């Protein structure tokens, strides 16, 4: 495990997000430019390990990266800069929006199950089933007993897919309210970013403390051995991208996958090619 994993692993028990500085850069003492270069340097190994995972798809292994965080916390940035270091052929990204009527007619995990990446791939959730205990709780979108039920249901679901071969990496992108304000104002100042802005964002922001509490409860109750949470200080985009790059690297290294050995006679195949009737 990298020092990044140690730095962001959440201890069991109650979670106090106010005790975690969103502008901190734990396990890293470089600056922005260094971090961007360091992230690029992870690229070749990430790409190699992603290809090994793909090559070993018969092993049933996969990785699931769950990205959760308030608006502007940078889920899209992680996708572009960190996940973008591997071939898009090896990645399945799902961005979860408000559920459709069909999705609402099923248990909240139904659409999640459908979105899981097949073995050999890296699945990425941009938002996830955690919305159902975050906005679900804050906005009282379901009765409180139902919200209660979901924590256990999530743990059982994650345990099952972990047992079936998926390494789960859950990241909470932790930003400060002040940083979010800056980012929202920056979006409003830039006409090429207006499409990302929704007046409802400010309504959600007004519930910042309620969201923090909902995150703290969710983090505490679903921080399992099978699917541990990492809280990533995300006021610095470059730190966030690098830290998640290291967590992804740890997950892929942890699979400890070698290249599959040939199930054919290599020398015989070479001979077949050399001896072939000319092809054109």
Residues binding a copy of itself (CB under 8 A): 47, 55-56, 76, 79-80, 83-84, 87-89, 91, 93, 95, 124, 126, 177, 181, 184-185, 188, 191-192, 194-199, 202, 205-206, 208-209, 259-262, 264, 266, 269-270, 272-273, 276-277, 279-280
Identify which of residues 129 and 212 has a Cβ nearer to a copy of itself in the complex: 212
Q: How far apart are CA 223 and CA 155, in angstroms?
A: 9
- The answer to whether 234 touches 174, Cβ cutoff 8 Å, is yes
Residue 173's DSSP bridge partners are: 69, 232
Write the burial class of residue 44 (CB in 10 Å: 0-12 exposed, 13-18 middle, 19+ buried). Answer: exposed
Write the burial class of residue 45 (CB in 10 Å: 0-12 exposed, 13-18 middle, 19+ buried). Answer: middle
Identify which of residues 95 and 224 has a Cβ nearer to a copy of itself in the complex: 95
In angstroms, give the least distance from the CB of 143 to a copy of itself: 28
In angstroms, give the least distance from the CB of 58 to a copy of itself: 9
In angstroms, give the least distance from the CB of 25 to a copy of itself: 21
Identify which of residues 144 and 261 has a Cβ nearer to a copy of itself in the complex: 261
Identify which of residues 11 and 266 has a Cβ nearer to a copy of itself in the complex: 266
Pair of tokens at residue 83 = 């996940």
Apex 162 CA angle, 165 and 117, nearest 5: 65
Q: How far apart are CA 204 and CA 197, in angstroms?
A: 12
Q: Are strands 166-174 and 229-233 parallel, antiparallel or unpaired?
A: parallel
In angstroms, give the least distance from the CB of 56 to a copy of itself: 8
Identify which of residues 24 and 142 has a Cβ nearer to a copy of itself in the complex: 24
């Amino acid at each position: 495990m990298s020092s990044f994993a140690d730095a962001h692993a959440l201890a069991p028990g109650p979670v106090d997000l106010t005790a975690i500085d969103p502008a901190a850069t734990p396990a890293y003492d470089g600056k922005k430019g260094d971090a961007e270069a360091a992230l690029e340097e992870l690229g070749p190994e990430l790409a190699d390990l992603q290809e090994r995972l793909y090559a070993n798809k018969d092993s049933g292994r996969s990785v699931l990266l769950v990205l959760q965080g308030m608006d502007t916390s940078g889920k899209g940035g992680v996708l572009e800069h960190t996940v973008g270091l591997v071939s898009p052929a090896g990645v399945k990204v799902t961005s979860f929006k408000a559920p459709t009527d069909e999705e609402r007619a099923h248990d909240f995990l139904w659409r999640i199950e459908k979105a899981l990446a097949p073995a050999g791939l890296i699945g990425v959730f941009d938002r996830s089933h955690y919305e159902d205990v975050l906005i679900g709780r804050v906005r009282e979108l379901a009765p409180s007993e139902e919200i209660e039920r979901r924590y256990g249901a999530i743990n059982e679901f994650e345990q099952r897919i972990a047992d079936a071969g998926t390494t789960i990496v859950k990241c909470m992108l932790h930003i400060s309210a002040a940083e979010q304000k800056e980012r929202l104002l920056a979006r409003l100042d830039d006409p090429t970013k207006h499409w990302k802005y929704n007046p409802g964002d400010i309504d959600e922001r007004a519930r910042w403390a309620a969201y923090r509490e909902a995150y703290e409860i969710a983090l505490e109750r679903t921080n399992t051995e099978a699917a541990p949470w990492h809280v990533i200080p995300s006021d610095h985009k470059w730190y966030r991208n690098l830290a998640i790059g290291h967590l992804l690297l740890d997950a892929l290294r942890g699979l400890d996958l070698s290249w599959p050995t040939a199930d054919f006679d290599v020398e015989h195949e070479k001979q077949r090619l050399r001896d072939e009737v000319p092809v054109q």
